[in-house]
């Protein structure tokens, strides 16, 4: 297959020279692992102490990886990307809240985004994460099958109601909804809830999408088992397929608590598992829809190849490619240029609330994690091409 991702002119067509320079500077900075470690500590301290660092964060990493502090801020970016056939998924990235108000705020925000999805072709999905709608420790308790106090039962009822309200609205509007996956020790509780939503709202087509983290060795089996259930009970499945973002945490907890890690034994096994999942889904597109959330070039080429082999059109509405805003533009824009369906997660929210998200991006882009050198190489190549 032609190496389309090497075309940096298409990849960075939307970036002005100064935006290109900023991207280069940011990736250079976060490639430096000690600098990231120190930067994280200083930023956490500054934010907790209410020091005025928000402007600095905004002008650098925030603006590179996020669309703005609210949904309206994101719209110019959404429109700009759509000129190049790249869609956006507005991702309200406020994480890990323990009181009820922020959970209800997240619900209102996602309901509002669903209206955008209905109105704007450039925004084809809404998204939320389970712990945006419920307390982590409550998910954990439900996951463990522990009995809940009366108060907790009522609280869980409100979590279920938030899921249901969102999925019901998505169904009424006929628009799709992605639900993120998180740590394995709360994921069964989330999965059961999402399965119920699929059963209820995916009768005609996939409205509700769950997420499969293929760094988990048990996920291919889960996919196949759910497929059997979905066939027997007559509902469609939607899955975002990713590798998974919590590997270190997963391995550390398994080690600490003395159980077998749910994570594949090596990167290569995760890669094989991921590619097996996309192949299985492509072979059963009559029953399911796929959103492949990956920055991996080989997996992206593999999915293109599978589609070509099975005679599936590039813009078949059941197959989507997804990347995060600020990363892997060479994949997104080159795929979109060939008419594939592509959507980039565009996070937004108040700067201090988006910090955990930004820290995860910095972590996965250090030289240790190994993504940065590729981003830097591509930016370097484009700078040379533009003679900057
Ligand atoms: C649009 C989108 C949505 C996403 N949504 C979610 C989500 O809901 N939940 C979530 O958890 N993540 C999510 N992610 C993040 C994703 O799971 C990955 O962390 C990230 O995309 C990096 O993986 P990759 O496929 O891009 O490629 P690569 O860079 O090729 O793979 C890196 C990944 O491989 C795995 N890996 C690395 N080393 C090993 C090893 N030694 N053993 C086993 N596995 C290893 C890890 O999962 C690591 O993140 C999302 C990503 C995108 C692009």
Q: pLDDT by residue (tens digit) across 77-126?
A: 999 999 999 999 999 988 666 678 889 999 999 999 999 899 999 999 99
Whether the CB of 349 sits within 6 Å of ligand 1: no
C-alpha to C-alpha distance for 366 and 37, rounded to whole angstroms: 10
Tokens (6 digits) for 332: 């997104």
Q: How far apart are CA 362 and CA 103, in angstroms?
A: 26
pLDDT range class, residue 381, cuts 50, 70, 90: very high
Helices and strands: H and E segment counts in the chain: 18, 8
For the chain, helix, strand, coil in percent to 5 are 60, 15, 30
329 CA to centre of ligand 1 in angstroms: 16
Residue 98: per-residue pLDDT: 66
Cα–Cα distance, 5 to 330 (Å, whole number):
5
**Full-model pTM:** 0.95
Contact indicator for 138, 190 with CB cutoff of 8 Å: no
- Give the ligand 1 atom nearest the CA of 345: 1
Sheet holding 319-324, edge to edge: 86-92, 342-348, 319-324, 288-293, 237-242, 208-213, 176-179, 125-128
Taking the centre of ligand 1 as the mean of its atom positions, its distance from the CA of residue 332, in whole angstroms, is 16
d(C-alpha 248, C-alpha 228), whole Å: 32
Average pLDDT over every residue of 185-207: 98
Q: Which of 86, 293, 363 to mutate to test the pocket of ligand 1 (most atoms within 8 A of CB)?
A: 293
Percent of the chain with pLDDT over 90: 80
Coil, strand or helix at 294? coil
Q: At CA 308, angle to CA 82 and CA 346, rounded to 5?
A: 25
Comparing 90-99, 120-129, 148-157, 286-295, the range with the smallest average pLDDT is 90-99
Say if residue 290's pLDDT is above 70: yes
Task: Find, among 219, 205, 214, 192, the residue nearest to 287 by Cα.
Answer: 205
In this prediction, residue 34 has a pLDDT band, given cuts at 50, 70 and 90, of confident
44: pLDDT confidence band, cut at 50, 70 and 90? confident
User: From atom 5 of ligand 1, which residue's Cα is the shortest distance away?
Assistant: 180
- Is the pLDDT at 368 greater than 60? The verdict is no
Q: Which atom of ligand 1 is nearest to the CA of 178?
A: 8
What percent of the chain clears pLDDT 70, i.e. is strictly above it? 97
Q: Rounded CA gap, 326 and 324, in Å?
A: 6
180 in ligand 1 pocket by Cβ < 6 Å?
yes
pLDDT of residue 204: 95
Q: What are phi and psi of 322, to 5 degrees?
A: -135, 140
pLDDT at 152 over 80: yes
Burial, 245: exposed, middle or buried (Cβ in 10 Å; 0-12, 13-18, 19+)?
middle
The pLDDT of residue 287: 98
pLDDT at site 371: 60
Structure tokens at 247: 């590997």
Instruction: Give first-to-last CA distance, the chain, whole Å.
Output: 31
Residue 249 Cβ contacting ligand 1 at under 6 Å? no
Count CA atoms within 13 Å of residue 83 on its CB side.
9
Mean pLDDT value across residues 278-300: 97
Residue 67: pLDDT over 70: yes
Is pLDDT of 61 > 90? no
**Would strands 288-293 and 125-128 be described as parallel, antiparallel, or unpaired?**
unpaired
**pLDDT tops 60 at residue 219:** yes
Q: Which residues pair with 299 in a beta bridge?
A: none
How large is the average pLDDT for residues 259-280? 98
Instruction: Tell which residue, 365, 369, 370, has the closest CA to residue 23.
Output: 365
Question: Is 1's pLDDT higher than 70?
Answer: no
| pLDDT for 306 | 98
Please give the helix or strand (H or E) that residue 88 lies within, else none: strand 86-92
17 vs 361, which has greater pLDDT? Answer: 17
pLDDT at site 357? 87
pLDDT in tens, 327-352: 999 999 999 999 999 999 999 999 88
| CA 274 to ligand 1: nearest atom | 25
Q: Rounded to the nearest 10 degrees, how much is the dihedral formed by the CA atoms of 8, 9, 15, 20? A: 50
Indicate the helix (H) or strand (E) that contains 115: helix 100-119
According to DSSP, residue 288 is labeled: E
Q: Tell me what the pLDDT averaged over the chain comes to.
A: 93
What does residue 75 show for φ and ψ, rounded to 5 degrees? -60, -40
Centroid of ligand 1 to alpha carbon of 218 (angstroms):
16
Q: What pLDDT sits at residue 369?
A: 56
The residue with tokens 């997660």 is 345
Residues 6+ apart with CB under 8 A from 383: 20, 21, 24
How is residue 62 written in tokens? 């925030």
Task: Reply yes or no on whether the pLDDT at 157 is more than 60.
Answer: yes
CA of 259 from ligand 1 middle (Å) equals 22
Tokens of 341: 């369906």
Which residues contact residue 360 at a Cβ distance below 8 angstroms, ignoring those fewer than 6 apart? 245
Report the pLDDT value the prediction gives residue 97, as an integer from 0 to 100. Answer: 65
125 Cβ below 6 A of ligand 1 = no
Structure tokens at 196: 């119920």
* Residue 370: per-residue pLDDT: 57
Cα–Cα nearest to 257, from 187, 185, 206: 185
């Amino acid at each position: 297959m032609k190496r389309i991702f090497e075309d940096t002119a298409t990849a960075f067509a939307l970036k002005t020279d100064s935006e290109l320079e900023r991207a280069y500077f940011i990736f250079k900075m976060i490639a430096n692992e000690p600098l990231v470690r120190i930067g994280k500590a200083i930023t956490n301290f500054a934010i907790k102490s209410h020091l005025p660092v928000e402007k600095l964060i905004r002008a650098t990493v925030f603006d590179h990886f996020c669309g703005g502090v609210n949904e309206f801020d994101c719209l110019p970016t959404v429109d700009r990307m759509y000129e190049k056939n790249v869609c956006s998924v507005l991702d309200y990235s406020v994480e890990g809240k323990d009181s009820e108000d922020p959970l209800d705020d997240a619900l209102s925000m996602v309901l509002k985004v669903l209206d955008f999805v209905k109105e704007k072709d450039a925004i084809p999905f809404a998204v939320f994460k389970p712990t945006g709608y419920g307390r982590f420790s409550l998910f954990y308790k439900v996951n463990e099958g522990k009995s809940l106090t009366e108060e907790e039962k009522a609280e869980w009822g409100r979590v279920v109601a938030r899921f249901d309200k969102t999925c019901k609205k998505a169904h009424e509007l006929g628009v799709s909804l992605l639900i993120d996956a998180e740590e394995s020790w709360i994921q069964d509780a989330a999965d059961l809830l999402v399965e119920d939503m699929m059963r209820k709202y995916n009768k005609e087509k996939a409205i509700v999408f769950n997420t499969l983290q293929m760094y988990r060795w048990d996920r291919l089996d889960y996919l196949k088992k759910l497929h059997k259930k979905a066939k027997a009970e007559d509902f469609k499945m939607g899955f975002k397929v990713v590798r998974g973002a919590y590997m270190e945490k997963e391995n550390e907890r398994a080690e600490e608590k003395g159980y077998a890690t749910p994570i594949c034994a090596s990167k290569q096994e995760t890669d094989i598992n991921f590619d097996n999942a996309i192949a299985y889904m492509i072979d059963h597109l009559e029953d399911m829809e796929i959103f492949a959330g990956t920055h991996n070039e080989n997996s992206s080429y593999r999915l293109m190849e599978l589609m070509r082999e099975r005679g599936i059109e590039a813009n078949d509405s059941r197959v989507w490619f997804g990347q995060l805003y600020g990363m892997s533009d060479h994949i997104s824009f080159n795929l979109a240029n060939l008419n594939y369906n592509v959507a980039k997660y565009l996070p937004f929210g108040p700067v201090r609330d988006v910090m955990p998200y930004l820290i995860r991006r910095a972590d996965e882009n250090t030289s240790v994690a190994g993504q940065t050198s590729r981003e830097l190489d591509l930016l370097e190549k484009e700078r040379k091409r533009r003679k900057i």
